[in-house]
């Protein structure tokens, strides 16, 4: 597979890293081999817990000891065998020849040093000289400029907390690049960032690579990122690489059933009327001894051999490599056996369904208090006058970047946060109530009708309570059923409804995986028979395959029970799959809303257009013009004058800087707030 | 099949009821009059609470897990065994009674008369130590007093010499020569007896193990010797062996010698040191018992409700912690002492009064020491109240106090436990300091602080009287060291930053 024209930079052979005791070690990295050529981008793709980060740490010899140890294998960087290097020699490799950037920019920087000092530190370590300060300073400024930090001469004296998330990640990249490494290991570099910022950072990496010719090892779980920016990739599953392919090969015809499933589990517009494909079961425990293929329990194409023979590498005719018995005879990808067979579900509901919740001019302003007497010095305009309509049995998606106030809006709707102004009407079963004026008992009694599902499945369940107790809580508080027997039967029903075994009620949350916990959260919300559920990014902490299960469940429950969802998310593909209506939020206000198909196919507001185009998509055939947004979301304390979006808008006009645009109605409930449309 | 509401509280309830019945019936059977002092009541209450707590912990896996980690820690196990020994002594010393007076043949007397002196079960066991009072100071293992006295010779003349002790080494005719050998022999025989007792205990253990694993004695012995899972048991047994043999040696010697010498009024210092254990434990535990409700309730309320409740509670505890602690304690203790001195009719006996003073000290210490824990709990609650599960409970319309009880309290309990165990040794030491300053326990209460206070003046004396101080130091040091080791282990096991955050995900 070696290309004769490009030289191999890193060669990894049979690397194994084990964790835990000698009797039953967890083979977190199990005989992983791959090579990276100079100047290429190589992606390691896999779901959480598959060992991709640990592979990178093993490369750097940063495996946490004594828990983990590199058992065997060879890592060659150029001509050096890194595993033979002493810790002292490794120090000269790390940061100099191989640099690493991590997922969380907040924790990768030292908060008490200026960013300039932190970059200078790397430079000094590299030069091994104290150098003169001036020279290092100019170099720091050059590096900062190279990663696109505006005004670097002033910025290099800033502390990390003065920078936004995207800027911090740029600084982290600048630190990694300062030593001009041959190989940059990027471990989920954009997962913590918003789509628009994510696009900026990925472009930056590409630019830097073009200039310096370094190789990048990109570790990610996101197929979308891989689709646009890598040369070759490896798919990892349960500690092992199961497929090696070039990007074109992988995206035109991925070979391994697992890779196939990953594609099928991705939600998008075209799958709206179908259930998403899911992968049954769970990743096998890594301390088990595998007799056959490790994907066998979850594979729909598995046959007898798969259970008792460990698959070897097969090389397909086009050079793609895969560990799968399906290709035993060296045949190429057989499309027949992967034919999709999932249940279709009707999702069409009419927008004439009755309203269940209606927010008008909803505002949440958080006062900022300063000084001795806690005088109000200003406000955070988190939600600044939004109108939302939730219809029975329909899903309204609230889309926006983090910090735009969408979660606050959801919580204010449910009266979990006191609204500063505006009204929220709830109406069902012939009743109509204004919620913001209600207090105490009256509000508490109505709470059964509107529920919430949270983003983080780890913090949303009390770790000290059994699942049964968790599910009971709402029933008791709302007196849904009153006897113990009724409660027990209802718990069983709920667990069945969300696809969990009834024994689950005697177990504690920590015994479940993220996806299972999210099901428990859903069951908990269902326990009080709500009309409305606010789903606050319920799938953003989950892997693709688990996300598919959760989305299927939500969709199915909506069909069965006629619940209406307010789906808060930044993930456009989920919106495409699930939403009936969409509202796009920017800095506390809704800039565009309307029916999903209309809004997705012909977005009118420049921000919506940019947001949609920044989403990395895997359909290479779709010809797209990507609109790059500069800068980041402004602070909601000092929203810009006029249209909030004008500092970043590519089509900004003079008028935008002065007045906030009025609503333009484009028919069928499609509303846009932009001066561009009024002109037409 | 388990039910969601498991009756975990039933077995401990039975245990507590049967124990209290036993305590009530036993004095009548033995013909003594039970006396329950106020601190005793609190100790019984604490024991009952402890029994329930153990049952609760066994019932909740998330609580059981860290304890299992503690039990796997060798140093913690040793500390636990030592602490248990102290607690046993403290408990025996907390069962008080009054002995009946001999009825002088008047059988028609309806009402039995009881002695005014209040003894504990522990006193009864150590009666030989309590009763054998010398004239004044004597060194450990001494056979004569520490000071020369004018003695009458048989011929009527007077001379100055060190008089022989009434009890210490009284069985020896020529102690100067015989003593060393005698001590060795007595120690050896004590060790042999201790070994015997330990072997009996060990055999019982082996039989129990054999029955539980349904194997032979040899097999369970082999399991005990070799199995990795028996490591904790081996540590416990070795510690126990050392403790039992050491105790047996001292026990044996204490019949013939004053092992730690005697104090100014001739009391056996060993006896004083052992009696001080109860005082130390009472101060260390009752204070926490008194402080916990304040700290937990106020801390969680401040963090949960915020707003004016938070402001008010913060003002209270910042004010309280800005006043110098010792000053506050001294003022409170002195005013209580004055009140007690003016109202002697409130107390049945001297020991009752002394006991009340001890309790008052605990209350004062408790009131001044809840601020630290309160502050911690407020911070933790501020963090927890933003957790999604609290929001979910709010979204269900669950009431505030249910949220506090069901969601917040169980999630801050680990902090409470860590703080209680950490505070314990501090409080034991505080008692010593306060008694030394003179605002501690009643002078008639035997405590390490009083022992040190008494020894203070004699340190200037030539030759020095060092043994009171050393004895108090040894007993206190052992307790505090064990408590500190134990608290380290507790913190390691319960601190969420040090433990893994569940599996899965």
What is the C-alpha separation between B163 and B183, in angstroms, rounded?
Answer: 20
Cβ–Cβ of A414/B395 closer than 8 Å? yes
> What is the Cα–Cα distance from A139 to B440, expressed in whole angstroms?
68
SS3 of A27, please?
Answer: strand
Per-residue confidence (pLDDT) for residue A623, from 0 to 100: 55
Q: Do both A568 and A657 map to the same domain? A: yes
Tokens of A504: 């689950």
A240-246/A232-237 β-pairing: antiparallel
Same domain, B338 and B430: yes
Closest partner CB to A469 (pick from B4, B394, B402): B4
More confident residue, A22 or A390: A390
d(CA A464, CA B149): 70
Do A209 and A230 form a contact (C-beta atoms < 8 A)?
Answer: no
- Indicate whether B2 belongs to any domain: no
pLDDT at res. A502: 86
**Which of A451, A459, A462 shows the shortest C-beta gap to B395?**
A451
| Residue A337 pLDDT level (bands cut at 50, 70, 90) | low
B40 found inside a domain = yes
Do B206 and B351 fall into the same domain? no
Q: Counting beta carbons within 10 angstroms of the beta carbon of residue B210, is it exposed (0 to 12), middle (13 to 18) or buried (19 or more)?
A: middle
Question: Do B150 and B289 share a domain, yes or no?
Answer: no
Count of domains for chain B:
2
Domain boundary (B254, B284, B312) is at B254
**Domain termination site, one of A305, A337, A369:** A337
Residues B74 and B179 in one domain: no
Chain B CA closest to residue A468: B4
In this structure, the answer to whether residues A426 and A315 fall within a common structural domain is no
A473 closest CB neighbour out of B391, B398, B501: B398
Residues A288 and A368 placed together within one structural domain of the fold = no
In this prediction, residue B290 has a pLDDT band, given cuts at 50, 70 and 90, of: confident
- Residue positions counted in chain B: 505
Q: Which of B250, B264, B31, B245 is nearest to B129 (CA)?
A: B250
**Do B329 and B422 share a domain, yes or no?**
yes
pLDDT number for residue A3? 44
| A447 → closest Cβ in B395, B406, B501 | B395
Cis status, amide bond into B463, omega within 30 of 0: yes
Model confidence at B5: pLDDT above 70: no
Count of A-B CB contacts under 8 Å? 99
Q: Give A438's contacts in chain B (Cβ within 8 Å).
A: none
Cross-chain residue pair B60–A464, CB shorter than 8 Å = yes
**Residue A442 to chain B, least CA–CA distance (Å):** 10
Of residues B120, B139, B82, B407, the one with CA closest to residue B278: B120
Are A558 and A653 in a shared domain? yes
User: Given CB atoms, is A92 within the 8 Å cutoff of chain B?
Assistant: no
Residues of A in contact with B388 (CB under 8 A): 454-456, 459-460
pTM exceeding 0.90: no
User: What's the farthest any 2 CA atoms get from each other in chain B?
Assistant: 99
Q: Establish if A160 belongs to a structural domain.
A: no
pLDDT at residue B245 in the model: 94
Residue with tokens 């060659």: A76
A269-327 tens-digit pLDDT: 778 878 888 888 778 888 888 888 888 888 888 888 888 888 888 888 788 888 888 88
Instruction: Give me the residue from B5, B388, B505 closest to A454, CB to CB.
Output: B388
Question: Is A170 inside any structural domain?
Answer: no
The helix (H) or strand (E) run that includes residue B204 is helix B175-213
Q: What is the CATH number of the domain that holds A282?
A: 3.40.50.300
Tell me if A514 and B4 make a contact (CB, 8 A cut-off): no
Please report residues of B whose CB lies closer than 8 A to that of A410.
Answer: none
Pair B404, B453 in one domain: yes
Residue A398 in this model has a pLDDT that exceeds 60 = yes
Q: What's the confidence (pLDDT) of residue A339? A: 58
Rounded to whole angstroms, the Cα distance separating A326 from A324 reads 5
Q: Do A317 and A212 fall into the same domain? A: yes
Å between A313 CA and nearest CA of chain B:
30
Give A552-582 pLDDT, tens digit per residue. 889 989 988 889 999 998 888 889 888 999 9
- Statement to judge: residues B250 and B273 lie in one domain: no
Residues A476 and A620 in one domain: yes
Does residue B194 share a domain with residue B84?
Answer: no
How far apart CA A405 and CA B289 sit, in angstroms, is 46
pLDDT of A546 higher than 60 = yes
Chain B residues touching residue A505 (CB < 8 angstroms): 4
Are A329 and A469 within one domain? no
Look at residue B110 in the predicted model and tell me its pLDDT: 59
Distance between CA atoms of residues A69 and A54, nearest Å: 11
* A chain contacts of residue B60, beta-carbon cutoff 8 Å: 464
> What residues in A contact B396, CB-CB < 8 Å?
447-448, 451, 473-474, 477-478, 528
Q: Which of B229, B254, B279 is the last residue of a domain?
A: B254
| Domain count along chain A | 2
- Give the CA distances from residue A84 to residues A32, A70, A109, in Å, rounded to whole numbers and listed in that order: 18, 12, 30
Mean pLDDT (whole number) for A483-498: 88
Backbone angles phi, psi at A667, to 5 degrees: 85, 150
Residue B178 lies in a domain: yes
pLDDT at B23 over 90: no
Per the listing, tokens 């305590």 go with: B23
- Which pLDDT value is given to residue A1? 40
Residues A302 and A433 in one domain: no
Of A416, A457, A511, the CB nearest to B391: A416
Q: Is the same domain home to B246 and B290? A: no
**Range with the poorest average pLDDT among A331-345, B166-180, B279-293, B331-345:** A331-345
| Domain of B480, in residue numbers | 10-96+265-494
Q: Residue A458 and residue B505: Cβ atoms within 8 Å?
A: yes
Considering chain B, what is the average pLDDT of its residues? 85
Inside any domain, residue B247:
yes
Cβ pair B406:A473 closer than 8 A: yes
Question: How many C-beta atoms surround the C-beta of residue A328 within 10 A?
Answer: 12
The ipTM is 0.77
Q: Which of B199, B234, B254 is the last residue of a domain?
A: B254
Q: pLDDT tens, B252-286?
A: 998 888 888 888 888 889 999 999 999 999 998 89
How high does pLDDT run on average in chain A?
Answer: 84
Q: How confident is the model at residue A355 (pLDDT cuts 50, 70, 90)?
A: confident
pLDDT tens across A604-653, in order?
A: 899 998 888 887 776 655 556 677 777 777 888 888 888 888 888 888 88
Could you say which DSSP state residue A310 is in?
A: P
Q: Is the per-residue pLDDT at B149 higher than 60?
A: yes
Would you put residue A285 in left (φ > 0), alpha (ψ -120 to 50) or beta? beta
CA distances from residue A29 to A33, A282, A305, B273 in whole angstroms, order as listed:
10, 18, 24, 60
How are beta strands A431-434 and A663-665 bridged, if at all?
unpaired
Q: Which of A306, A337, A368 is the last residue of a domain?
A: A337
Residue B417 belongs to some domain of the structure: yes
Tell whether A21 is within 8 A of chain B (Cβ).
no
Helices (H), A479-532: 484-497, 514-526
Contact B392 A521 (CB under 8 A): yes
Closest CA to A109 of A60, A181, A158, A180: A158
Asked whether residue A582 falls in the same domain as residue A481, the answer is yes
The residue that leads in pLDDT, A360 or A5, is A360
The reply to whether B444 falls in a domain is yes
Q: Is A369 on the interface with B (CB under 8 A)?
A: no
**Distance (Å) from the alpha carbon of A462 to chain B's nearest alpha carbon:** 6
Question: Is B246 found in the same domain as B269?
Answer: no
Interfacial residues of B (vs A; Cβ cutoff 8 Å): 2, 4-5, 60-62, 387-389, 391-399, 402, 406-407, 410-411, 501-505
Taking the CA of residue B399 and the nearest CA in chain A, the distance in Å comes to 8
Residue of A nearest to B392 (CA): A452
Residues B157-178 as b/e (b if ≥16 CB within 10 A, e otherwise) read: eeeeeebbbebbbeebeebeee
B108 inside domain: no
- Residue in A469, A470, A513 closest to B505 by CB: A513
Residue of chain A minimizing CA distance to B384: A459
Q: Is B115 among the domain residues?
A: no
Return the pLDDT at A624: 62
Verify that B287 and B345 share a domain, yes or no.
yes
Instruction: Kindly report, residue by residue over A466-485, the tens digit of the pLDDT.
Output: 898 899 888 888 888 888 88
A15 occurs within a structural domain = yes
Chain B hits for A460, Cβ within 8 Å: 387-389, 392
- Distance CA(A97)–CA(A254), nearest Å, equals 33
Q: Could you tell me how far CA B394 lies from the centroid of its own chain?
A: 43
SS (H, E, C) B353-415: HHHHHHHHHHHHHHHHHCHHHHHHHHHHHHHHCCCHHHHHHHHCCCCHHHHHHHHHHHHHHHH
Q: Which residues of A touch B406 (CB under 8 A)?
A: 462, 465, 473
Q: Does A251 reside within a domain?
A: yes
Predicted pLDDT at B474: 92
Task: Tell me which residue range forms the domain holding A373.
Answer: 356-679
- C-alpha–C-alpha distance, residues B330 and B398, integer Å: 45
Please choose, from the candidates A605, A539, A617, the residue with its C-alpha nearest in 3D space to the C-alpha of residue A574.
A539
Report yes or no: A209 and A180 within 8 Å, Cβ to Cβ: no
CB contact under 8 A, B504 and A460: no
- Quick check: is A601 in a domain? yes
Same domain, B247 and B276: no
Q: Is residue A387 part of a domain?
A: yes
Q: Which one, of B376, B420, B363, lies nearest residue B50 by Cα?
A: B420
Closest CA relative to residue A539, chosen from A530, A528, A551, A529: A551
Nearest CA in chain A to B6: A506
Q: What interhelical angle do A606-614 and A195-212 show, nearest 10?
A: 60
Say how far residue A680 (Cα) sits from the centre of its chain. Answer: 38
Answer with the one of A309, A337, A365 that is the final residue of a domain.
A337
Retrieve residue A72's tokens.
């065997």
* DSSP per-residue letters across A87-107: HHHHHHHBTTTEEEE-S-HHH
Say what the pLDDT of residue A90 is: 87
Cβ–Cβ below 8 Å for A456 and B411: no
- In angstroms, the separation between the Cα of residue A618 and the nearest Cα of chain B is 26
A125 SS3 class: helix
CATH code, B444: 1.10.3720.10
């Amino acid at each position: 597979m070696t290309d004769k024209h490009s030289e191999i930079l890193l060669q990894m052979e049979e690397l194994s890293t084990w964790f835990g005791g000698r009797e039953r070690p967890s083979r977190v990295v199990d005989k992983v081999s791959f090579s990276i050529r100079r100047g290429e981008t190589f992606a390691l793709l896999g779901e959480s817990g598959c060992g991709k980060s640990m592979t990178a740490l093993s490369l750097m010899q940063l495996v946490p000891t004594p828990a983990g140890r590199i058992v065997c294998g060879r890592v060659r960087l150029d001509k050096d065998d890194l595993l033979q290097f002493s810790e002292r020699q490794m120090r000269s490799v790390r940061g100099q020849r191989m640099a690493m950037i991590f997922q969380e920019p907040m924790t990768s920087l030292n908060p008490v040093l200026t960013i300039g000092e932190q970059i200078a530190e790397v430079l000094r370590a590299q030069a091994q000289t104290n150098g003169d300060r001036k020279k290092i300073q100019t170099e720091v400024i050059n590096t900062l400029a190279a990663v696109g930090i505006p005004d670097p001469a002033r910025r290099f004296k800033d502390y990390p907390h003065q920078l936004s998330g995207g800027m911090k990640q740029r600084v982290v990249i600048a630190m990694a690049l300062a030593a001009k490494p041959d190989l940059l290991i990027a471990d989920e570099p954009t997962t913590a960032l918003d789509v628009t910022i994510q696009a900026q950072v990925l472009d930056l990496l590409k630019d830097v690579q073009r200039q310096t010719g370094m190789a990048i090892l990109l570790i990610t779980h996101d197929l979308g990122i891989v689709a646009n920016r890598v040369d070759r990739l490896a798919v990892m599953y349960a500690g092992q690489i199961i497929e090696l392919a070039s990007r074109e090969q992988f995206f035109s015809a991925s070979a391994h059933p697992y890779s196939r499933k990953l594609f099928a589990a991705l939600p998008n517009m075209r799958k709206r009327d179908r259930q998403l494909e899911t992968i049954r079961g769970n990743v096998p425990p890594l301390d088990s001894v595998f007799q056959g293929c490790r994907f066998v329990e979850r594979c729909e194409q598995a046959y007898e051999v798969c259970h008792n023979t460990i698959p070897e590498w097969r090389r397909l005719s086009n050079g793609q490599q895969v560990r799968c018995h399906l290709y035993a005879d060296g045949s190429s990808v057989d499309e027949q056996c992967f034919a999709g067979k999932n249940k279709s579900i009707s999702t069409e509901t009419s927008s004439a369904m009755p309203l269940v919740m209606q927010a008008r001019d909803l505002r949440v302003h958080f006062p900022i208090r300063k000084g001795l007497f806690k005088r109000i010095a200003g406000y955070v305009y988190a939600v600044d006058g939004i109108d939302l309509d939730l219809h029975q049995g329909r899903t309204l998606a609230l889309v926006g970047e983090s910090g735009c106030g969408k979660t606050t809006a959801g919580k204010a709707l449910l009266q979990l946060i006191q609204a500063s102004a505006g009204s929220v009407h709830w109406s069902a079963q012939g009743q109509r109530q204004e919620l913001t004026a209600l207090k105490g008992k009256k509000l508490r009694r109505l709470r059964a009708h509107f529920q919430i599902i949270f983003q983080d499945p780890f913090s949303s369940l009390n770790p000290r309570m059994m699942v049964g107790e968790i599910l009971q809580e709402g029933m008791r508080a709302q007196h849904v059923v009153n006897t113990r027997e009724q409660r027990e039967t209802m718990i069983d029903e709920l667990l069945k409804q969300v696809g969990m075994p009834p024994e689950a009620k005697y177990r504690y949350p920590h015994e479940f995986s993220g996806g299972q916990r999210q099901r428990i959260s859903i069951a908990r919300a269902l326990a009080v028979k709500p009309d409305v559920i606010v789903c606050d990014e319920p799938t953003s902490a989950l892997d693709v395959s688990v996300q598919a299960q959760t989305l299927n469940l939500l969709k199915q429950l909506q069909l069965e029970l006629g619940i209406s969802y307010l789906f808060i998310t930044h993930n456009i593909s989920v919106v495409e799959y699930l939403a009936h209506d969409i509202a796009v939020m920017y800095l506390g206000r809704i800039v565009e809303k309307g029916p999903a198909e209309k809004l997705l196919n012909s977005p009118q507001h420049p921000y919506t257009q940019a947001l949609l185009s920044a989403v990395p998509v895997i359909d290479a055939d779709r010809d797209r013009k990507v609109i790059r947004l500069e800068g980041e979301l402004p602070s909601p304390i000092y929203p810009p004058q006029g249209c909030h979006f004008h500092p970043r808008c590519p089509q900004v006009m003079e008028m935008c800087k002065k007045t906030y645009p009025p609503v333009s109605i484009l028919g069928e409930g499609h509303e846009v707030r932009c001066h561009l449309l009024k002109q037409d | 099949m388990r039910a969601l509401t498991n009756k975990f509280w039933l077995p401990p309830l039975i245990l507590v009821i049967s124990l209290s019945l036993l305590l009530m019936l036993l004095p009548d059977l033995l013909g003594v009059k039970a006396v329950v002092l106020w601190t005793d009541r609190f100790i019984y209450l604490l024991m009952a609470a402890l029994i329930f707590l153990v049952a609760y912990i066994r019932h909740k896996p998330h609580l059981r897990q860290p304890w299992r980690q503690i039990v796997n820690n060798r140093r913690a196990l040793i500390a636990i065994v030592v602490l248990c020994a102290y607690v046993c002594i403290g408990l025996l010393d907390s069962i008080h009674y009054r002995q009946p007076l001999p009825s002088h043949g008047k059988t028609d007397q309806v009402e039995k008369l009881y002695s005014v002196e209040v003894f504990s079960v522990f006193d009864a066991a150590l009666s030989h130590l309590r009763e054998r009072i010398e004239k004044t100071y004597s060194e450990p293992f001494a056979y004569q007093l520490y000071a020369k006295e004018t003695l009458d010779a048989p011929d009527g003349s007077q001379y100055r010499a060190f008089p022989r002790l009434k009890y210490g080494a009284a069985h020896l005719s020529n102690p100067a020569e015989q003593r060393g050998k005698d001590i060795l022999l007595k120690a050896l025989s004590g060790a042999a007896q201790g070994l015997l007792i330990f072997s009996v205990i060990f055999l019982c253990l082996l039989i129990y193990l054999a029955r539980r694993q349904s194997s032979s004695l040899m097999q369970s012995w082999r399991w005990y010797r070799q199995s990795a899972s028996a490591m904790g048991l081996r540590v416990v047994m070795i510690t126990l062996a050392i403790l039992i043999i050491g105790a047996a040696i001292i026990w044996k010697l204490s019949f013939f010698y004053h092992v730690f010498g005697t104090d100014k009024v001739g009391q056996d210092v060993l006896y004083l040191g052992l009696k001080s254990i109860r005082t130390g434990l009472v101060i260390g535990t009752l204070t926490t018992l008194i402080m916990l409700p304040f700290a937990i309730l106020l801390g969680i309320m401040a963090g949960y409700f915020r707003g004016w409740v938070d402001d008010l509670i913060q003002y209270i505890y910042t004010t309280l912690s800005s006043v110098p602690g010792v000053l506050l304690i001294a003022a409170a203790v002195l005013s209580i002492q004055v009140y007690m001195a003016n109202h002697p009719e409130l107390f049945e006996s001297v020991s009752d009064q002394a006991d009340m003073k001890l309790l008052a000290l605990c209350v004062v210490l408790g009131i001044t020491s809840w601020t630290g824990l309160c502050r911690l709990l407020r911070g933790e609650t501020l963090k927890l109240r933003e957790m999604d599960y609290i929001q979910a409970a709010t979204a269900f319309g669950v009431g505030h106090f249910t949220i506090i009880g069901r969601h917040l309290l169980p999630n801050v309990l680990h902090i409470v436990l860590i703080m209680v165990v950490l505070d314990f040794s501090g409080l034991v030491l505080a008692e010593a300091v306060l008694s030394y300053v003179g605002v501690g326990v009643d002078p008639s209460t035997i405590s390490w602080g009083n022992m040190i206070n008494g020894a203070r003046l004699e340190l200037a004396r030539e030759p020095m009287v060092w043994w009171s101080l050393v004895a108090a130091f040894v007993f206190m040091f052992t307790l505090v060291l064990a408590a500190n080791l134990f608290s380290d282990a507790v913190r390691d096991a319960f601190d969420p930053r040090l433990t893994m955050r569940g599996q899965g995900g």
